[in-house]
Amino acid sequence: MDINRQVEFWMQSSQEDLEVAEQLLHSGKIRHGLFFLHLALEKALKAHVCNKTMDIAPRTHNLVRLAELADLKLAQQQRWVLADMNPYNLEGRYPHILSPIPDKQEVLRLLCKSKETIQWLKRKL
């Protein structure tokens, strides 16, 4: 297995999902946008897991767990971002779990902090 190819795939796909997330959030599709924002973080983290373990990333969507598996030294704020974004994976997949849509200020905070985290993850590879 070509680990470099895996890492490249995850990071490229992360960037694409981030672009989709931004488009959706700016067009008012909040739940879908947050789902894709979560997906962008997940894929960037899976690139790190592959890089660290030299194996295929596990089939988990838990951002905090992926960061642990990658042995990333996250700042507290980065850990909070991952924890804050974790529920949006479930809400995008299971409609019976829906919680209230966050207000515009919270959505912008999540977008900004998630983008910062993804950029940091890119630099760390």
Angstrom distance (rounded) from CA 37 to CA 21: 5
CATH no. for residue 89? Answer: 1.20.120.330
Give the model confidence (pLDDT) of 80-98 as tens digits: 999 999 999 976 677 777 7
Tokens of 113: 């902090």
Tens digit of pLDDT at every position of the chain (125 positions):
899 999 999 999 999 999 999 999 999 999 999 999 999 999 999 999 999 999 999 999 999 999 999 999 999 999 999 999 999 997 667 777 778 899 999 999 999 999 999 999 999 99
Residue carrying structure tokens 């990071």: 11
What torsion do the CA atoms of 87, 90, 21, 113 make, to the nearest 10 degrees?
A: 20
Tokens of 15: 């960037």
Task: Provide the greatest CA pair distance for the chain.
Answer: 44
Number of domains composing the chain: 1
**DSSP type of residue 97:** G
Angstrom distance (rounded) from CA 14 to CA 78: 17
pTM above 0.85, yes or no: yes
How long, in residues, is the chain?
Answer: 125
Q: Which domain holds residue 90?
A: 3-124
Sequence-distant (6+) residues with CB within 8 A of 23 are 33
Q: How far is CA 11 from the centre of its chain?
A: 11
Q: Are 14 and 44 in contact (CB under 8 A)?
A: yes
- Single-letter amino acid code for the residue at 83: A
